[in-house]
Structure 1
Amino acid sequence: MFTPIERFFSSGLRLSHLRLLVALADLKQVTKVAAAFNVTQPAVSKQIGEIEQALGAAVTERVGKAVFLTDVGAVLARRGREILRQVGLAQKDVASLVTGTAGRVTLGSVTAVPPSFISQSIMSFLTRAPAASVEFVEAPLDELLEMLRIGKIDLVLARARGKDDPTLVTETLYSEPFVFVSGPSHALANGRSVTVKDLKEFMWLVPQQGSPSYIALAHLMELEGLNIDDSCVESSCIALNVELMARGPFVSILPLSHATEYAARGRLSLMNTPSLTQLGEVVLYRRADLDSPAPLLLGECIREEAVSNLPGISSDLTG
C-alpha cells in the first residue's frame, strides 16, 4: 500500500508541477506566475491545490500579496529546478541524435575576454562538429554565473574567479595583463613614462562598478590617493570606449590584446605605464556535473586555443 507521498511521486507528480513551484520560488506572486505561463490566476491556484492535496501538506503560504514556499515547497522547488535542467539537457541530446546534429552549446563571456580568442575557439569547435550550433551571450560575470548554475549557459569565460562554489569548476586558461590606454592624439600618448598620478587630470572611462576590473582599478587609484569617481564615464562597451578615447581626452584600461589590436589600427595608444597584472587571468567556468558531449568539446577547443594560439601570453596549461 502506497502512502500519499509515495503515490504522488510514483504517478501524480508532473513536470508542470515542478515548473510551477520553481516559478513561485523565483517570482513570489501568483499574478506574476500566471503571467509567465500565460494562464489565469485560478489555474495556478488549482495546481497548487492539487499538489497540496496529493501530498497532504502545504507547499505555499501567503504573506500579504506575496506567496512563499513552505519547507516542503522549497525542497520540491530546489530538486525540481535540477530535474528540469536535466530534462532540458536530455531534450538537447535526443534532438541531436534524432536530427543528426552534434548539439547546441551556449557560451557566455564578459566583455574583457579577447574576441579573437573566442572566435578562434568557436571556429575550432565548428570545424570538429560542423553540424553543431553555438549561442554566444555577453554579460557581467554575476549574471553569467547565475545562468550557468541554472543551466541556461554551458560554459563561461571571465577575467576573475568568483566566490567558491562546489557546483562549479574553474580553471585558468592563460594570463594577460590590463594596460592603460588613450586616444592616439592624447596629451600623454607620446611614449614618455607616465605614472598613475599623471592621469589624475584627465577624464576616465571605467568598467561597471562591482566588476573585477573596476575593483582592481579603484584599489590601484586608492593606493595613489586618487578617486576614479571624480570625473568619469562608466561603460563596459569596448567599442564605445574606443570611440570616446579617439574623440576626447579620456584614459582607460584594456586587456593587452584588445589594446594592441586597436593601436595597430591607429585608434588607440598604449601608455608607458605599469600594467595591471592582478587582472591577468582568463578563466573558464563550467558546472561540475557537465556531461554533454558538445559543451565538453567546446571546452576542449577553448583550452587548445589558449595553449597554441596566444603566443607571448603565459598559460598555466603548458606547465
Structure 2
Amino acid sequence: MQNDDSIDRFFRSGLKLPHLRILVALAELGQITRVATAFHVTQPAISRQIAEIEQAMGVSVVNRVGNALEFTSIGEVIVTSGREILRQLELARRDVQALAAGTGGHLRFGAVATIPEPLIADAVQLFLRRAPSASLSFVEGTLDRLIKMLDEGELDIAIGRNRVATAQTQLRQESLHSESFVFVASAHHPLGQFDKTVEWNDLRGCRWITPLHGSPAYATLIETLSAHGIVPGASNVESSALSLNITLLTRGEFVAILPLSTARLHAMRGHMRILPLPPLEPLTEIVAYWRVDALRGAELLFVECLKEAANEIRKE
C-alpha cells in the first residue's frame, strides 16, 4: 500500500519533465556518461536524478548489470510513456510556434502518383492545423511535369520518387523517406495464398499492372523482370493511380508493385499478399523539391510538415 501511495503521489505532483527526458535519453544512449554529456551536466547529477525518481516512487526503475544499466519492467513502462509525452509536447511546441507566427498565404504543391497517400494527407493536416489562415492546392503528375511547373513558378513544392539531374542551381532536393516497392497480388490471386511458395518463374504469364511507360518505376520493374527472363504480356494495365491499381488488384486478376507502406496496410486488412520476392530497391527514396528563391513562411512550414509526416511513417 505504501508503494501505491508513493507512486500515486509521484505521478500527481513529483514527476517532472527532466525526469522523463533523462530516462528516455538513458534508454536511447545506454550509458549515464553519455546522458550526462548530452545534457551538459556531470555524471553524478544524472545519477541523483534517477535516485530521486526511485526514492519518490519507492521502486527501482533501473538495475545495474556489471558496468551497464538495464531498465526494470516499471522503468520500461515509464520510458515508453515518456517518449510519447515528449513527442506530444514537441508537436504542441511546433503548433504554437506556427500559430504565433501567423503563417498564411496560398501553398501550391504536387506529387507523383506513387507517393503514399497517408504522407500527403498527414502533412496537409499538420499544415492546416498550424496555419489555419492558409489555403493550398494540389496537383498530381509525372515528375518531369512537376519540375517544369516548379521552374515556371506554377508550383511551390513537388514530391517525387527519385533525384533529378538539373543545371538549375536554385532547385533544392531533400530526401523525406525511404521505402521499397514490393511485389503484390490479391488474396484471391493464385499467388496470393499465404502458404504458397513464390519464385520468379511463378510470375510468367501473369497479368500485370505496371507504372506508366517511360517512368523510372516502369524502367526499374521491366529491368528486374527481364533479368529473370520475364516479359509482361500484352493484356496488362499501365497505371500510376494508386486507388485504381488497388481496386484492380483486390479483384484478383493482377500482380503489381506497390510502395511497402501501402502494400503493408492492405495486407494487414487481408486484401492482398506481399509476395516473398526481393523488393525494388532503386525506387526507395521519396524526395521533396522546391526553389530556394521562392520559399517563404508557408512553404517552409509545409516542408517541415512533410518531414514530420514522413517520420511518422517510419515509426509504423
Q: CA deviation at 1:200?
A: 1.2
CA–CA distance in structure 2, aligned partners of residues 145 and 197 of structure 1:
38
Give the secondary-structure state (helix, strand or coil) at the position aligned to 2:294. Answer: coil
Percent of aligned pairs sharing the same letter: 39
- Contact kept, 8 Å, 2:210 with 2:238, in 1: the verdict is yes
CA–CA distance in structure 2, aligned partners of residues 242 and 127 of structure 1:
30
Equivalent residue, structure 2, for 1:247: 251
Partner AA of 2:162 in structure 1: A
Equivalent residue, structure 2, for 1:270: 274
Equivalent residue, structure 2, for 1:136: 138
Q: CA deviation at 1:276?
A: 1.0
TM-score between the two structures when normalised by the length of structure 2: 0.64
Give the secondary-structure state (helix, strand or coil) at the position aligned to 1:201. Answer: coil
Give the secondary-structure state (helix, strand or coil) at the position aligned to 2:276. Answer: coil
- Contact kept, 8 Å, 2:203 with 2:230, in 1: the verdict is no
Q: Which runs of 5+ in 1 are unaligned?
A: 1-99, 313-319
Q: How does 1:109-124 map to 2 (within 5 A)?
A: 109-124=111-126
Equivalent residue, structure 2, for 1:210: 214
Equivalent residue, structure 2, for 1:238: 242
Q: How does 1:76-115 map to 2 (within 5 A)?
A: 102-115=104-117
Give the secondary-structure state (helix, strand or coil) at the position aligned to 1:113. Answer: coil
Partner AA of 1:103 in structure 2: G
Equivalent residue, structure 1, for 2:223: 219
Q: Which runs of 5+ in 2 are unaligned?
A: 1-101
Give the secondary-structure state (helix, strand or coil) at the position aligned to 1:243. Answer: helix
Deviations 1:128-158 (A, max 9, x none): 1111011111111111111111111110111
Change in CA separation of 1:291 and 1:238 when aligned onto 2, cut-off 3 Å:
closer
Give the secondary-structure state (helix, strand or coil) at the position aligned to 2:118. Answer: helix
Partner AA of 2:152 in structure 1: I
Equivalent residue, structure 2, for 1:284: 288
CA–CA distance in structure 2, aligned partners of residues 229 and 167 of structure 1:
43
Q: CA deviation at 1:309?
A: 4.5
Q: CA deviation at 1:107?
A: 1.2
Equivalent residue, structure 2, for 1:189: 192
Deviations 1:172-229 (A, max 9, x none): 1111000111111111112333223311121011010111111110110121122235
Deviations 1:98-153 (A, max 9, x none): xx870000110011111111111111111111110111111111111111111111
| Total equivalences in the alignment | 213
Equivalent residue, structure 2, for 1:180: 183
Deviations 1:259-306 (A, max 9, x none): 112223332221121111111001010113123211111011111222
Partner AA of 1:132 in structure 2: A
1:259 aligns with 2:230: no
CA–CA distance in structure 1, aligned partners of residues 220 and 108 of structure 2:
29
Partner AA of 1:141 in structure 2: L
TM-score between the two structures when normalised by the length of structure 1: 0.63
CA–CA distance in structure 2, aligned partners of residues 213 and 309 of structure 1:
21
Deviations 1:62-113 (A, max 9, x none): xxxxxxxxxxxxxxxxxxxxxxxxxxxxxxxxxxxxxx87000011001111
Give the secondary-structure state (helix, strand or coil) at the position aligned to 1:269. Answer: strand
Which aligned runs of 4 or more in structure 1 are off by greater than 3 angstroms?
none
1:167 aligns with 2:148: no
Change in CA separation of 1:246 and 1:134 when aligned onto 2, cut-off 3 Å:
same
Give the secondary-structure state (helix, strand or coil) at the position aligned to 2:137. Answer: strand
Equivalent residue, structure 1, for 2:69: none
CA–CA distance in structure 1, aligned partners of residues 234 and 162 of structure 2:
26
- Contact kept, 8 Å, 2:205 with 2:232, in 1: the verdict is no
Change in CA separation of 1:309 and 1:262 when aligned onto 2, cut-off 3 Å:
closer
Of the structure 1 ranges 244-253 and 178-187, higher mean CA displacement relative to structure 2 is found in: 244-253
Q: CA deviation at 1:230?
A: 4.0
Equivalent residue, structure 1, for 2:8: none
Partner AA of 2:239 in structure 1: S
Q: CA deviation at 1:233?
A: 1.2
Partner AA of 1:292 in structure 2: R
- Contact kept, 8 Å, 1:149 with 1:167, in 2: the verdict is no
